[in-house]
Structure 1
Amino acid sequence: MNAAHPILTCAEAKEFEATLFAGNEVAEWAAMQQAGRAVADAILKDFEEICGFPNEGTVLVLAGKGHNAGDAMIAAQRIVERYPLTCVEVVFLLGERTLRPLAQRAWRDLQPTAAKRTAAKMRSYDVVIDGVFGFQFRAPLDESVAKVLHDVNELPVRLRAAVDLPSGLDEADAFRADFTYATGIVKTPLLTLPNAGRLRYLDLGFFQIGGKSVCNLISDKLDRVLTSEVLDPLRGLRASRSDKRTYGHLFIVGGSRGYPGAVLMSVLAALHSGAGLVTAFVPESLVAAFAARAPEAMWVGWPETPEGGLALEGSHLLRARIARATALLIGPGLGREAETMALVKDIVGQSSVPLVIDADALQPDIVAAGTAPRILTPHAGEFARIERAITKEAITIKKDPVTCIHSGTTRYHGFFGGPVLARGGSGDILAGLTGGLLAQAPADLTGAAARAVVWHGMAADHLARTHGQVAVTITQLIDFLPAVLRS
C-alpha cells in the first residue's frame, strides 16, 4: 500500500538517513528546514483544539546539540513568522557550545527574535518544544538534564510538543509530551511510549526520494503508518457513466429496542461513505422513526424477540435479498440475547458477501463462523475476547488511541483522531464507514479498512479543531467527513 510508510527501529532509521543524505549538508539543511516548518505548522493546527495560538504567545525551546535542536529552533522561528509578537526562549541543556553546525545555523537564524534562558528562569508557556535528544539517545539521562526535564514537566504549559521522540524516552524524568511529531520517519519506540502523547507523522517525502539502495532497507517492514493519501481514490472525479449500482450496496443488520441509536449512526455514516445503496434490517418497531431520520436508506422491519432484539424468524428477509448486496455489516446495537446471537452466527456462517463484524457480534463463535472474507472492528476489550478465534485471513481494526489494522503479517497504524473520539457511538460510525467503503471495493478489505480508519480519524481532528474536544456530540463527526476529502 503506497499510502502507508514503514516504521523503522532507531538503528534502521540511522542507516536509512545515512544512505539517503550520504553526508550532504545541503540536503540535510533542506530537510531540517522542512522538518522544523512542518513541526510548527502541525503545532499550530493542533493548538486549534484549545482555541488557537494567541497573538502574543510564549514558546520555550529545549535544545540539545543535534538535528532535533535544529528542528525545534526552526519550528519556533516559523511560529514567530506567523505570529510576530511571540516571545521565544531557548534553554540549551547540553550547552550552546555543543551545538553541531546545522543546529548552530538554526540558532543564528532564530537569535534575533529569541532570548537565551537558563533553566532556573523558566516560567509558564503556551508551547514547549522538546528538541533535546533524537533517536540516538542512550539511557540513562544525565542528572542535570533529568532535573531540567522534570522541572519542565511541572511547569504550566498549554501544549507540550516533542520532536521525533520525547527526550529521555521512558526514563523516570523523560519529557512528557501532549503531541509527538515524527519527522520524516516514525520510529518504533513511539508505538509503546506512555509519555509520547498523541502521535503525528510528518511526511517529508523521504520514502519517495530514496533510490533503490534506500528502498531495499525498508521493503520488508511489517509495521507501517497510514497517510492521508490513502483517501486519494475518493478525492478524484467519478466516472461520468455510472449509477447507484456502480458504487455498491451495503446491507446493515443491527439494532434493538435497548440500543436503538447505534445502528442508526452506522447507517448515517454508511450513507456518507459514497456507497450507492444502503439497506438496513432493524427491529420493526424502529423503522418509522429511522426512516424519517434517514430516508436515503431502505429500511426493512425485522420481527422482534419479546425483549426487542432481532428474532430468528426474520432470517428469510435477509436470504431473499442477499444477492443484491456487495457487503454486509452486522453488529451495531444488537444486544446479546441468546436468540439474536444464534441468528447472527447463522448469518455470518452462511454469508456469501464480505462482512464487517462489529460490537455485540464480536463473539468467538461468530467471528470464526463461515468462510466469507471479513473485517473485524474490536476495541481492546472485545479484541481480548475474540483474539484466539481470529483467523489469519481476517482483517482486524483494533480500536485504540493509535488504531491498528492487522492484515496478514502487516500492521497499519493510524495516527489521526484523538480524545474527541472517546465517546459512545464513535465505533458505530467507524463501522458504518468501513461497511460503506467495503461495499464499493469488496475485493479490497485492507484498503477499505485503511480508508475508514484514516477518514474517521481526520474527521475527528477537524471536529476538535472547530468545536474543541468537550462540548460536542459524536454524530457531529459525520458533518466533517466531506471536509476531509476536500482538504
Structure 2
Amino acid sequence: MPSRSDTPPAVITPRLLREWPLPDPQGGKESRGTVLVIGGSRVTPGAVLLAGVAALRAGAGRLQLAVTSSTATALSIAVPEAKVVGLPETDAGSVSGEVPDHLLELAAEADVLAVGPGLDDVEQTARLMRAVLGAAAKDAAVVLDAHALGALSRDAGLLADRDLRAVLTPNLTEAEILLGRGPGEDLGAAARELAARHRAVVSLYGHIAAPDGRLWREESGDAGLGTSGSGDVRAGIVAGLLGRGAEPAQAACWGAFAHAVSGQRLAPRYGRTGFLARELVDEVAYTIATV
C-alpha cells in the first residue's frame, strides 16, 4: 500500500490485488450485502440497470433499485433479480426530492447506497440525498456518482459528520464541478484534494485517493471506456464490492481494475472503441475471479 501524500501512487496490478484479497463471504446472499441503487429519470432508467447489474456481477448478494414510478415496471422486468420500487417524479420526469417512506425504509436497511446514476436534476437530487443519507445506517457504505456529485459540490454537508464509508466516482467534468476549477494534468493530486475535502475515497479516471493521502493508479484503461453508460458500470462495481465487505479504498481499486480490464477483454471482439457498457457488465465477474 502507498502510505501518504509524499509518496508516489502505487500501480494497480494483479499482484497488488492478490496481496489485498477481497472478502470471501460464506453463507447465503445476506452475507454479501444489500445494495440499493437510487437514480434514473423518465428517459434514463438504463443507468440504474447498468449500475445494479454491475453490482450483482461484482458479488453483491441482494439488489434493490429505486427509480421513477413511470419506469419501475419495465425495469423490474429487465432485472428480475432485483426488487424495484417507484419514486415520485417531477413533471419533467426527474426523480422528485419528495422522498416516500418506503425508500427511507430501504435506505435504513441497505448495506450500500449508490446514488446518482441517471439522475438529472441537481436540486431534486440534493433534497433526495439529505433524506436518504440521513436515514442510512451508521455503518452503511455510500457510492456517489453523476448528479449526486453535483449536489455534493453545492452542499459538502451532505457527507459531513456522517459515519458513512463513502466512495466518489467522478468523471473529469464532475471533478471540475467538485473542485470549482479544472482538475489539471495531475489527476492524482486532484483526487487527493477531493478525498481530503470530503473525507471519502475518490476514483477519478484511473486515479484512486484515500482521505489519508494514499494514492493508486490504474493503467489498463483505454479509450473504449469512454462509452455511454460506462461510468454507471464503474459505480455499480464499486457498490457491489462494498456489499461483499471490501473497504472503500479496496473496492475503488478493485473496481477500477475490473472496469478497465473488462474493456480490454472486449477489445479483440469489438475494437478499442466498439463495445458497449452493457457488454462491460458481462465481463466483470470473470475479470474479478481471474485476478
TM-score bracket for this pair, using the shorter chain length: 0.7 to 0.9
What is the DSSP-based 3-state SS (H/G/I as helix, E as strand, rest coil) of the residue aligned with 2:173? helix
2:169 pairs with 1:383: no
The code of the aligned residue for 1:455 comes to A
2:252 pairs with 1:460: no
TM-score normalized by the length of structure 1: 0.51
**Contact persistence 2:52–2:63 (CA under 8 A):** yes
Q: Per-residue displacement from partner, 1:88-113 (whole Å, max 9, x unpaired)?
A: xxxxxxxxxxxxxxxxxxxxxxxxxx
2:80 pairs with 1:295: yes
What is the DSSP-based 3-state SS (H/G/I as helix, E as strand, rest coil) of the residue aligned with 1:446? helix
Residues of 2 paired with 1:338 and 1:264: CA distance?
A: 23
TM-score normalized by the length of structure 2: 0.83
Q: Per-residue displacement from partner, 1:344-369 (whole Å, max 9, x unpaired)?
A: 24433554322100001112134541
RMSD: 2.6
Assess, with a 3 A threshold, how the Cα gap between structure 1 residues 392 and 337 changes in structure 2: closer, same or farther: closer
Higher RCO (CA-CA < 8 Å; seq separation 6+) = 2
Residues of 2 paired with 1:237 and 1:327: CA distance?
A: 16
The alpha carbon displacement at 1:438 in A equals 1.1
Q: Which has the higher strand share?
A: 1
What is the DSSP-based 3-state SS (H/G/I as helix, E as strand, rest coil) of the residue aligned with 1:472? coil
The alpha carbon displacement at 1:287 in A equals 1.4
2:59 pairs with 1:274: yes
Residues of 1 paired with 2:262 and 2:156: CA distance?
A: 29
**Percentage identity across aligned positions?**
28
The code of the aligned residue for 2:165 comes to P
**Contact persistence 1:359–1:378 (CA under 8 A):** yes
2:144 pairs with 1:357: yes
Assess, with a 3 A threshold, how the Cα gap between structure 1 residues 260 and 322 changes in structure 2: closer, same or farther: closer
1:451 to 254, 261, 267: 254
Structure 1 gap segments, 5+ residues each = 7-217
Q: Per-residue displacement from partner, 1:13-47 (whole Å, max 9, x unpaired)?
A: xxxxxxxxxxxxxxxxxxxxxxxxxxxxxxxxxxx
What is the DSSP-based 3-state SS (H/G/I as helix, E as strand, rest coil) of the residue aligned with 2:199? coil
Q: Which runs of 4+ in 1 moved over 6 A?
A: 233-237
Assess, with a 3 A threshold, how the Cα gap between structure 1 residues 375 and 235 changes in structure 2: closer, same or farther: closer
The code of the aligned residue for 2:69 comes to E
Aligned residues: 267
The alpha carbon displacement at 1:417 in A equals 2.1
2:99 pairs with 1:314: yes
Assess, with a 3 A threshold, how the Cα gap between structure 1 residues 471 and 305 changes in structure 2: closer, same or farther: same
Counterpart of 2:242 in structure 1 is 438
Residues of 1 paired with 2:39 and 2:155: CA distance?
A: 15
**Contact persistence 1:285–1:301 (CA under 8 A):** yes
2:226 to 422, 446, 450: 422
Residues of 1 paired with 2:24 and 2:39: CA distance?
A: 31
Counterpart of 2:40 in structure 1 is 255
> Which stretch has the larger CA shift, 341-350 or 290-299?
341-350
Q: Per-residue displacement from partner, 1:411-450 (whole Å, max 9, x unpaired)?
A: 11001120111211110000000111112226x1101111
The alpha carbon displacement at 1:395 in A equals 0.7
**Contact persistence 2:207–2:218 (CA under 8 A):** yes
Structure 2 gap segments, 5+ residues each = 181-192
Counterpart of 1:185 in structure 2 is none
Q: Per-residue displacement from partner, 1:207-228 (whole Å, max 9, x unpaired)?
A: xxxxxxxxxxx9x734211112
The structure with the largest alpha-carbon Rg is 1
Assess, with a 3 A threshold, how the Cα gap between structure 1 residues 448 and 278 changes in structure 2: closer, same or farther: same
